[in-house]
Amino acid sequence: MRFRPGERIGRALLVVALLTAGAVVYWPLAFVGAGAALAILVLASGELVALRKVTVRVSRPPIAVLSLGEAATLPAEVTHDAGARLKVAVRTLWPTVLGGGSSTASGVAVPGEPLALSYQVSGVARGEMQIDPPHLAFTRFGLVDRIVEAGAPQTVRVLPNLRAVQRLHARLNALFLRGLGTRLAPRIGQGREFDRLRDYVSGDDFRQISWKASARQRKLIVRQFRVERSQDVLLCVDRGHRMAGRIGPLTRTDHAVNAAVLSAYVCNRAEDRTGMLSFSADVEKGVAQGRGAAHLAAITRFATSVAPEFLPTDYRALSAHLRRRLRSRTLVLILTALPERGDHGDLLAA
């Protein structure tokens, strides 16, 4: 428990000083100044005693989740058991994953009603850290402030930028609702999944002609294929030293992770199985291929932990790992930063 002079005590003492100085010209002002000083002392002492009996509480959500590079509002609520209004200021020390925001919020707390406060912050680095309990200063008359540590620690998680995923999710849902009542045609293309046999038409590829079926039907029959579903996709995020460079406020790794999470969402929406790993001089296995909401959450958690290292990127190690890991046909997406001088020999050799 600590106390400090309030914002009004300085003005009150200035008035006392002026009255005392005026006593040189008009001596009765000395008595007025002495009376004012005594009144200030009594009021300040009374406020100090009264504030000792007041209990103030600050409540915050136990976990706050933010998206990297996006501004967010963190709420807090103040309650007290005093019988009068209190002027309250709550100061929070933000961890390194947060920045660019306010550290103090203030307001007037009315008896029996919670005071809602908020902070504007933004996530500047991915990760999870703990916010210490805030320091709270409160006063009634402004002569004395009591300072206490109130509330409980709060965990803050800065995840890859999920706002882009949310915006894409909303757009895809809008397109889906717009298409309700229509018949969806299968995705026909140059895939490898057999769809059906049909009559030959001008322009069809001769390589797709089924000669056995043509002999039975006594006319040209072609095989039609559809684009495969449930494909395997593996996202490989580079965390080597080149990825530590910044593009705007974010590192290249941050941009790569954001792109990987968005790609994972799109693949999951298309019913593909998606996995993710990170690599630099060595390879971190990450998350195996899968799909579903729980799997997307696992990819997001892994992506949050990916950070650039001051180590060279070894594409050959990645290639060797992929040859051991992949047992079926898989689309591999590598998110990396190539050397500016155009020397891509390591990547091509891998």
Q: How high is the pLDDT of residue 183? A: 45
**β strands within 227-313, DSSP E:** 232-238, 246-247, 250-251, 273-279, 283-290
Per DSSP, 68 falls in state B
pLDDT tens for the chain, residues 1 to 350: 688 887 777 777 777 777 677 766 777 767 676 777 777 777 878 888 888 888 888 988 888 888 888 888 889 999 988 888 899 999 888 887 787 667 888 999 988 889 999 888 888 888 888 888 889 999 988 888 899 888 888 898 888 887 777 777 777 777 655 554 444 444 445 556 667 888 888 888 888 888 888 888 888 988 887 666 678 999 999 999 999 888 888 889 999 999 999 899 888 888 889 999 999 999 999 999 999 989 999 999 999 889 898 898 999 999 999 999 998 889 999 999 887 766 565 666 65
Q: How high is the pLDDT of residue 184? A: 45
Per DSSP, 40 falls in state H
Strand order in the sheet with 86-91: 2-5, 144-149, 135-139, 86-91, 104-109
Candidates 85, 78, 96; CA nearest to 134 is 78
List alpha helices for 53-201, DSSP H: 163-178
Name beta bridge partners: 278: 237, 284
- Please report the domains of the chain, with CATH numbers, ordered by start residue: 2-46 (no CATH), 56-159 (2.60.40.10), 190-226 (no CATH), 232-349 (3.40.50.410)
Burial class (CB in 10 A: 0-12, 13-18, 19+), 280: buried
Candidates 234, 253, 218; CA nearest to 337 is 253
Burial class (CB in 10 A: 0-12, 13-18, 19+), 233: buried
Beta-strand pair 221-226/188-199: antiparallel
Q: How high is the pLDDT of residue 348? A: 62
